[in-house]
């Protein structure tokens, strides 16, 4: 499979309100509305967490891997819901179940994030999500979010 983008960073930024240093999705490789998404996050040493998170052995914090997965799932929700995307549309991360961390993620790694919709009920989206590096599982969780229109 090629790494050709289905969504590039400009399109991602139109859907997610996050900006540096908290935008954690670099590219979307696959997106099937109402089903699944595959996205990438390139891990680089110049990210702001590394000087303080094990400076002599930099490791991506698990909570940031989960946040990257939540942003990936959010992109799938936006594309599946077919609602207008503007500055008044936000997605909130509302829950996490069964988070497991299987290996460290370090600068130079490329995090491949996958999320699939488990169900949508009363405005809450539930996803099965996992992140891998070089085909090896780094973390997994079930994530929940909701889309909201701000006034």
Active site residues: 53
Residues 60, 54: Cα–Cα separation, whole Å: 9
Q: Which residues of 49-84 are buried (b: 16+ CB within 10 A; e: fewer)?
A: ebeeeeeeebebebebbbbbbbbbbbbbbbbbbeee
CA terminus-to-terminus distance, the chain: 42
């Amino acid at each position: 499979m090629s790494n050709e983008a289905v969504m590039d960073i400009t399109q991602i930024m139109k859907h997610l309100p996050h900006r540096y240093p908290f935008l954690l999705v670099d590219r979307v490789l696959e997106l099937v509305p109402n089903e699944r998404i595959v996205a990438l996050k390139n891990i680089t040493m110049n990210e702001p967490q590394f000087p303080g998170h094990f400076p002599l052995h930099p490791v991506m914090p698990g909570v940031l891997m989960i946040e990257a997965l939540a942003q990936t799932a959010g992109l799938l929700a936006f594309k599946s819901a077919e609602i207008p995307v503007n500055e008044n549309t936000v997605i909130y991360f509302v829950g996490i179940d069964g988070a497991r961390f299987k290996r460290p993620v370090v600068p130079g790694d490329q995090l491949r994030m996958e999320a699939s919709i488990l169900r949508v009920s009363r405005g809450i989206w539930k996803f099965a999500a996992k992140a891998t590096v070089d085909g090896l599982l780094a973390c997994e969780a079930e994530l929940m979010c909701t889309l909201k229109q701000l006034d």
